[in-house]
Amino acid sequence: MQVWPGHAYPLGANYDGAGTNFAVFSEAAERVELCLLHEDGSETAVELRESDGFVRHAYLPGVLPGQRYGFRVHGPYTPESGRRCNSAKLLLDPYAKAVSGAVDWNEAVYGYHFGDPERRNDLDSAPHTMTSVVINPYFDWGDDRSPRTDYHHTVLYEAHVKGLTMLHPELPGELRGTYAALAHPAVIGHLTDLGVTALELMPVHQFVTDHRLADQGLVNYWGYNTIGFFAPHNAYASWGECGEQVQEFKHAVRALHQAGIEVILDVVYNHTAEGNHLGPTLSFRGLDNASYYRLAEDPRYYTDTTGTGNSLLMRSPHVLQLIMDSLRYWVTEMHVDGFRFDLAATLARQFHEVDRLSSFFDLVQQDPVVSRVKLIAEPWDVGEGGYQVGNFPPLWTEWNGRYRDTVRDLWRGEPRTLAEFGSRLTGSSDLYQDDGRRPLASINFVTCHDGFTLRDLVSYDEKHNEANGEGNSDGESHNRSWNCGAEGESDDPGILALRRRQQRNFIATLLLSQGVPMLGHGDEFGRTQRGNNNAYCQDSPLTWVRWPGGMPAGADGEEAGAEGPDQALCEFVRTMVWLRRDHPVFRRRRFFHGRPSEGTRDELSDIAWFTPEGEEMSPGNWQEAQAGSLTVFLNGDAISEPGERGERITDDSFLLLFNAESKPLDFVIPADHGSEWELLVNTAEESVHAAGDRPTVPAAARLPLPPRTMAVLRRPR
């Protein structure tokens, strides 16, 4: 076999049409072998003798796409000094573009970590672990272009590749649960009809099910356990796993783009699947443990701000390079449109504290590729000072956990909620205005993958996670939920009607709030997980979306609950999404001023707040302990921001009436904000009024609203 010197950059395995260049970083290694794996289980070892800046490299002519490979690192195994080299371990390439196989959880993978260093070199992990794969980088993108949807037009839809598509009755069986399913017209048609502009995919980087779950017969379903930051997860591929998954993912992105839908990836750069000091050696730990991970004061152990066993070392230039190279790769080569960063506060920890100006954010800010896509932070981690909602740099948007909590509290009747609700409804200026950001910095959500589904939020007071095998001790215990009078499934018509109304309340509030709304997959159909608020390990109909049209042949739907998809709720969600899309007053790019705007046709403020009696809200009204009702006036003639061509934007004006109290209320329509109003939405009703069938309400009239009901009224221009 010919072995040429090759190049130290780019890292990973890079095929050029004639051969492949291999490059891997390890400062700890004394010697690194590239191992080419063959179908009969044998391997050919090639020592990487060339080294530049601790990057070992070689070029191998004739090595083609589909070739499986790994690295063996010879060096010190001295955990007491933070070094864990072990040549018995076949290691994944941190820059692998594709991964083949899965971890076989037996002693060959992790046995030597249990304090028996004499045995560590007797174990050969090649048959028991995953292997890296050389890929063909060429793909016909045609005229593919990113939709580049502005944030004020964006509607996010968080989804799981398998969970969204596994039970769709119109999909061929071999496509369900795969990247190819995302490209199917039946799935794309639902998203476009719903009005979704961006699909936010739960982790698709190659991840691992840890041995604790495997021993219990469970899996890491959510995927927040990454081991390959460049490789699409191979289990979601329908065509094969020796590079075919890359082509399949690109095909899905291209199809979604053709429909005008952006693809945003939920990425986990805060930790890896190698876990704590008892975890497996799969890649980074065996290559250079101290360069990749934050080690504790005793370097045998890891500093953990993620709750997963380890945290990546964000002050290491090699970790920063890895992350930035990964982000650029997914944008330039895979054509994704943005990222949601899991536990993003950990990315800000250069030392111990969370630092807004850490190196990672500096690198993102100046990067000509990454800085131009959507960047969404989950602005917290489990470390000290880790809750950082509102504190990320101006380039970033954030999952607004305070929005979620406040909206839940309002509709379940929590006292002293009204004042904060007003802030959340109008874009959370208290969080984002001081640093120059706008309402669109707030990613608003009521539910997401982590916690109750929308239906379960109104059906359970307590979590029911017994199936996870942790004695119901896992998951959040303070859910801000309300079961509407009975825990779990019920056949009481009154309770069921209230639950449906509460779901409509949450959806209407979300879609008509300033900021960027995010829906959770299946919430439009009333998906249930039977009270499991931490279904990270449940890969079954319990977590899969049930679609209209019945279950696919052979599918067991019992776990998903007795009721089928709620198509009336889906239609309500669709109507609210399109109401938002049609009216810029609900998706302002600037905060309200609370005063009249220049050039308007009237003297009315851009926003006004009223009590149910039609009187302007006073400071005392906002602070009343039991207050849970108000009227909000949105002046469509006072948006005061230019359109895309510089024209002045105007819109219809709206009244939003909120009765989150447990009693019926008569709302007096403000007397001086319009002579007549058209009733569009009343969440006490199952459906939205169609055009031509909408009641009108005159100024100063009383509009009765039942308990826990929201209404939307429009005054045409």
Question: pLDDT per residue over 312-334, tens digit each?
Answer: 998 899 999 999 999 999 999 99
First to last CA, the chain: 77
Q: 325: helix, coil or strand?
A: helix
What are the φ/ψ torsions at residue 338 (nearest 5 degrees)?
165, 180
Say whether pLDDT at 122 is over 90. no
Q: 573: helix, coil or strand?
A: helix
Q: Which residues contact 345 (CB under 8 A, 6 or more apart)?
A: 305, 354, 379, 380, 381, 383, 386, 387, 388
Distance in angstroms (rounded) separating the CA atoms of residues 630 and 656 = 8
pLDDT > 90 in the chain, percent: 83
**Exposure of 389 by Cβ count < 10 A (0-12 exposed, 13-18 middle, 19+ buried)?**
buried
Average pLDDT over residues 395-405: 96
pLDDT > 70 in the chain, percent: 94
Say whether pLDDT at 115 is over 50. no
Distance in angstroms (rounded) separating the CA atoms of residues 589 and 596 = 17
Kind of pairing between the strands at 374-377 and 262-267:
unpaired
Say whether pLDDT at 176 is over 90. yes
Q: Where are the alpha helices (DSSP H) in 206-283?
A: 211-215, 244-258
Structure tokens given for 432? 């984002």
What are the φ/ψ torsions at residue 361 (nearest 5 degrees)?
-70, -35
Distance in angstroms (rounded) separating the CA atoms of residues 138 and 333 = 9
| Residue pLDDT, tens place only, 587-608 | 999 999 988 876 666 789 999 9
**Catalytic site residue from 342, 381, 637, 651:** 342
Average pLDDT over residues 400-414: 97
Distance in angstroms (rounded) separating the CA atoms of residues 618 and 610 = 9
Structure tokens given for 329? 């790769």
Structure tokens given for 298? 């005793």
Tell me, what's the pLDDT at 386? 77
Average pLDDT over residues 61-69: 98
Say how many C-beta atoms besides its own lie within 10 A of residue 553's C-beta. 7
Q: Which residues contact 617 (CB under 8 A, 6 or more apart)?
A: 609, 610, 611, 630
Say how many C-beta atoms besides its own lie within 10 A of residue 174's C-beta. 11
Average pLDDT over residues 279-290: 97
Structure tokens given for 21? 């260049």
The answer to whether 524 is a known catalytic residue is no
CA angle 422, 425, 427 (to 5 degrees): 110
Kind of pairing between the strands at 665-668 and 702-705:
antiparallel
Q: Work out the pLDDT band at 260, boundaries 50, 70, 90.
A: very high
Distance in angstroms (rounded) separating the CA atoms of residues 602 and 557 = 57
Tell me, what's the pLDDT at 626? 87
| Residue pLDDT, tens place only, 524-570 | 999 999 999 999 999 999 999 999 988 887 666 555 445 689 999 99
**Ramachandran quadrant class, 554 (left: phi over 0; alpha: psi -120 to 50; beta: rest):** left
Tokens 């309770």, residue located: 495
8 A C-beta contact, residue 243 and residue 178: no
Q: Work out the pLDDT band at 647, boundaries 50, 70, 90.
A: confident
Kind of pairing between the strands at 205-207 and 226-232:
antiparallel
Exposure string over 280-303, b if 16+ CB within 10 A, otherwise e: bbbbbbbbbbbbbbbbeeebebbb
* Cis amide leading into 415 (omega within 30): no
8 A C-beta contact, residue 306 and residue 343: yes
Tell me, what's the pLDDT at 603? 82
At 367, the amino acid letter reads D
- Dihedral of CA atoms 294, 295, 301, 304 in degrees, nearest 10, equals -30
Alpha-carbon dihedral sign for residues 655, 656, 660, 664: positive
Distance in angstroms (rounded) separating the CA atoms of residues 223 and 342 = 11
Tell me, what's the pLDDT at 104? 86
Distance in angstroms (rounded) separating the CA atoms of residues 299 and 293 = 10
What are the φ/ψ torsions at residue 611 (nearest 5 degrees)?
-75, 165
8 A C-beta contact, residue 516 and residue 151: yes
* The 653-659 sheet, strands edge to edge: 607-610, 629-634, 653-659, 709-715, 676-682, 696-698
The answer to whether 563 is a known catalytic residue is no
Q: Work out the pLDDT band at 350, boundaries 50, 70, 90.
A: low
**Catalytic site residue from 200, 274, 304, 378:** 378
The average confidence (pLDDT) of the chain is 93
